[in-house]
């Protein structure tokens, strides 16, 4: 089959236009938001000790780790069923809000257990529970309005969330000097501001009264969402277990340094994550299209090239980012940046493939890939962290996400034949890993070796890069032509 470009005519062109429109909306909200938070990193590392930064990250990580268990992953069903024409929006929203509320109340009973596992959570228990509730309500609200097509409101809510977080950080951390407590209160303020905005602008009260569950629909939603719990939990293990194991083997301060290192690959995951949010909606809408295979393949190749280029920019500049963004106590974080960037790349490509399973209502199939990845991650963390510290954790994470991507790339073929060129992919990933290890261990001339590898990889994907540029230019020209025609 000939390689087709990303742009097209008719139905394909309309899908790409919708995908790019949604990506732009999510980009306006998320990119600016994440970049602002990214540039707050120097503030955090200057005003929080490595132990305090480690505790703050532990609270956020634990909230995201346990939410699918306590909420039964209902937010996954909120998005999918809000998009269904035969489902009542009020019933979908009511079921979601009631389950999140119940989950938060149940969590209150688990203080002794969490206090035993992590004493830091016992110290900040009330903040932890409130953050959990608001985080899940935020997911519930945002998935609901996205499902109803209110992508503009979602974009504005994300911006409000960030502005509130930045302003409260500046007041509580920089001016009042409240330290860790101020940082945690800022998170609560940010979620609350975004929720109030969505509640008012989307007139959520129309969907909340009477606040009664629809038991039949709730059962259907849970049949969709609960099979995702193992997959989401295993995914959380891949993204979070290394932090718990660093705390156990090395200490809370090392977790603070490792958490700071995670901020730099955020540049890559933010850019690609914006696209993935739009892609999830597009994949659901086009799950039965006749040319679904070509559509998935072309979009995948474009995302793949963008992800690789992001790695080529971030990895050789790891030390530079560390000097600019981190206080001197956090400087050694640069050693984890290259491999964490690779893990962000494979996380993105894995997330792209996951959309196919969700669109075809096959969430159970996601579990096998993340379960294998989680097992690899745990084993490698046990072997590598005691010897190499945060470098060992970053290595385990990168390899586990590469494993997840590989398993999904094979298993997704039963749903959609996404053409992954193995003969190009294998040498590309080997070069990427090997040259990144050279930088991580500060081998002489490692940056030169990495840049040489990058040039070789770009040559390997020359055709995809040319197609991506042509498609982008064609789309821009089409938009400009329409604007010009409309102004006449």
pLDDT tens readout for residues 160-174: 998 999 999 999 999
Average pLDDT estimate for 49-53? 95
The tokens describing 337, both together, are: 């940046």
Mean residue pLDDT across the chain:
86
Per-residue pLDDT at 28: 56
Band (pLDDT 50/70/90 cuts) for residue 485 is: low
Helices 390-411 and 337-359, packing angle to 10 deg: 30
The tokens describing 197, both together, are: 């905005």
Query: To which residue do tokens 């197609």 refer?
Result: 467
Contact 94, 207 (CB under 8 A): yes
The candidate with the shortest Cα–Cα distance to 367, out of 407, 420, 397, 396, is: 407
DSSP states along 265-294: THHHHHHHHHHHHHHHHHHHHTTT-TTHHH
pTM confidence score: 0.85
Average pLDDT estimate for 422-442? 96
The tokens describing 355, both together, are: 């959309």
Band (pLDDT 50/70/90 cuts) for residue 343 is: very high
- Percent of the chain that is helix, strand, coil (3-state, to 5): 85, 0, 15
Contact 385, 392 (CB under 8 A): yes
Higher pLDDT, 2 or 116: 116
Average pLDDT estimate for 241-267? 94
Checking if the pLDDT of 331 tops 90, the result is yes
The tokens describing 210, both together, are: 């009477």
Lowest mean pLDDT among 42-46, 97-101, 180-184, 237-241: 237-241
Per-residue pLDDT at 275: 63
288, HSE (Cβ side, Cα atoms, 13 Å): 1
Per-residue pLDDT at 487: 47
Contact 373, 401 (CB under 8 A): yes
Contacts of 9 (CB under 8 A, 6+ apart): none
């Amino acid at each position: 089959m000939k390689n087709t470009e990303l742009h097209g005519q008719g139905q394909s062109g309309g899908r790409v236009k919708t995908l790019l429109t949604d990506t732009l909306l999510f980009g306006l909200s998320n990119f600016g938001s994440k970049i602002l938070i990214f540039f707050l990193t120097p503030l955090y590392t200057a005003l929080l000790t490595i132990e305090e930064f480690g505790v703050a990250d532990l609270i956020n990580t634990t909230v995201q780790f346990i939410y699918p268990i306590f909420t039964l992953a209902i937010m996954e069903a909120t998005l999918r069923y809000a998009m269904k024409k035969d489902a009542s929006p009020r019933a979908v929203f009511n079921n979601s809000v009631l389950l999140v509320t119940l989950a938060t109340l149940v969590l209150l009973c688990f203080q002794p257990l969490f206090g035993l596992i992590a004493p830091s959570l016992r110290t900040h228990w009330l903040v932890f529970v409130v953050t959990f509730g608001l985080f899940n309500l935020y997911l519930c609200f945002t998935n609901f309005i996205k499902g109803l097509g209110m992508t503009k409101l979602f974009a504005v809510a994300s911006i409000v969330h960030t502005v509130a977080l930045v302003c409260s950080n500046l007041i509580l951390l920089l001016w009042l000097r409240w330290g860790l407590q101020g940082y945690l209160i800022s998170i609560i303020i940010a979620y609350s501001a975004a929720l109030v905005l969505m509640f008012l602008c989307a007139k959520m009260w129309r969907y909340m009264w009477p606040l009664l569950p629809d038991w039949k629909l709730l059962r259907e939603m849970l049949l969709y969402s609960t099979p995702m719990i193992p997959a989401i939990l295993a995914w959380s293990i891949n993204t979070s277990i290394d932090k718990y194991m660093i705390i156990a083997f090395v200490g809370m301060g090392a977790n603070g340094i490792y958490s700071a290192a995670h901020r730099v690959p955020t540049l890559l995951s933010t850019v690609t994550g914006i696209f993935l949010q739009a892609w999830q909606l597009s994949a659901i809408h086009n799950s039965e299209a006749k040319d679904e295979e070509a559509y998935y393949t072309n979009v995948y190749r474009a995302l793949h090239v963008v992800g690789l280029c992001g790695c080529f920019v971030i990895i050789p500049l790891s030390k530079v980012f560390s000097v600019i963004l981190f206080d001197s106590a956090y400087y050694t974080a640069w050693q984890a940046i290259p491999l964490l960037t690779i893990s962000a790349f494979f996380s993105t490509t894995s997330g792209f493939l996951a959309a196919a399973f969700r669109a075809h209502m096959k969430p159970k199939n996601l579990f096998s890939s993340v379960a294998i990845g989680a097992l690899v991650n745990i084993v490698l963390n046990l072997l590598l962290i005691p010897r190499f510290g945060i470098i060992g954790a970053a290595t385990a994470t990168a390899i586990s996400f590469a494993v997840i991507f590989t398993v999904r790339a094979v298993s997704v073929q039963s749903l959609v034949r996404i053409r992954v060129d193995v003969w190009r992919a294998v040498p590309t990933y080997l070069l990427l890993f090997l040259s990144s290890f050279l930088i991580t261990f500060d081998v002489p001339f490692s940056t030169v070796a990495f840049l040489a590898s990058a040039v070789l990889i770009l040559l390997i994907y020359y055709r995809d890069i040319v197609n991506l540029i042509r498609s982008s230019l064609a789309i821009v020209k089409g938009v400009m032509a329409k604007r010009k025609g409309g102004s006449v």
